[in-house]
Amino acid sequence: MNNARVNRIKDVLFKYFGIVCTLSGLIILAIFILNILIDGVQRIDWSFMSSLPSRFPERAGILTAWTGTFWIFCLTAAIAIPIGVGAGVYLEEYSKKGWLANLLEINIANLAGVPSIIYGILGLEVFVRILGFGASLLAGSLTLALLILPIIIVATREAIRAVPKTIKEASFALGATKWQTISRQVLPASASSIITGIILALSRAVGETAPLIVVGALAYVPFVAKTPMDEFTVLPMQIFNWVSRPQHGFTINAAAAIIVLLCFVFLMIGIAVYIRNRAQKKNPW
């Protein structure tokens, strides 16, 4: 056999290897989701969404869990978005480049890789104990905001960096100040990438369990949170609690709650993808 033919065979072999790898990942995911759907979908109805938790699986619902998740989502967004985007803009546009900037950059990248439970411990010490917020929605949201800040900062910086220098030059050359250039050119041009990053970060926050357990989110909350200082639970906590119970009824409840959580996360990712696709048509870079 000549060399070209060997290479061609290698090429084909690798192609099939790639297909098998991709498919096995997809198939496993599909089986998992199908399994959950079969178990849980008939359990989702209005009373499941609007009932408080209960000792009896047929009567238990996820009202406190999904309202808690919704609270956490909104509060975390309100805290993390302004700080994350602000820090990203500062680091990219204002800070002097030098060893300090490098140190910050490396550390922020590293923070994104710190296990989430470490953030939980930090949150417990700082927000729950020192600042005295207790095991409240506020403490939980602050903790999750810290967790996703590095992601938002990095996404913001990358989005800003992708705006061509020529656009900024054009703005300056017309007499714009730095802030006018940032607010009227740089941010609008990078908004869609920043928003995409924010949504993906938030969908991660919504799925987190470990840091909230450490901060003290409860497994059983018999009321809907009314203020940020209330105690709370969230969907992943509720799911975690149900799957660890022996009764089959709770396993079904857990599957149903997983479907609700997945729908929420997929919806957010869908929005992110939609925004990105729409923006790609508008901006050529």
Partner 1 sequence: MLKESGEMKDRIKGGSYMLESKNVNVFYGDKKVLQDVTLQVPENTVTALIGPSGCGKSTYLRLFNRMNDYIENFRKEGDILIDGKDIYRKDAEIEELRKTVGMVFQKPNPFPKSIYENVAYGLRIQGINNKDVLDEAVEKSIKKAALWDEVKDDLKKNALALSGGQQQRLCIARTLAVEPSIILMDEPASALDPISTAKIESLIYELKQNYTIVVVTHNMHQAGRISDKTGFFYLGELVEFGDTKQIFTNPKNKKTENYISGRFG
Residues that bind partner 1 (CB under 8 A): 97, 164, 166-167, 169-177, 180, 184-185, 189, 282-284
Crossing angle of helices 63-89 and 235-243, in 10° steps, is 130
Q: Please identify, using beta-carbon distances, which residue of 25 and 164 lies nearer to partner 1.
A: 164
CB 75 within 8 A of CB 138: yes
Provide φ and ψ at 247, rounded to 5°. -65, 140
Q: How far is the CB of 81 from partner 1 (least distance, A)?
A: 23
Question: Are the CB atoms for 251 and 242 separated by under 8 Å?
Answer: yes
Closest separation in Å from C-beta 31 to partner 1 = 44
Closer residue to partner 1, CB minimum distance, 195 or 261:
195
Shortest approach of partner 1 to residue 125 CB, angstroms?
A: 41
Q: Are 114 and 126 in contact (CB under 8 A)?
A: no
In the complex, the smallest distance separating the C-beta of residue 84 from partner 1, rounded to whole angstroms, is 24
**DSSP line for 95-112:** SPPSHHHHHHHHHHHHHT
Instruction: Round the CA-based radius of gyration of the chain to a whole number and report it.
Output: 23
Nearer to partner 1, 46 or 285 (CB): 285
Specify the residue, 4 or 174, whose C-beta has the smaller distance to partner 1: 174
Residue 128 CB, nearest approach to partner 1 (Å): 45
Residue closer to partner 1 by CB (options 98, 246) is 98
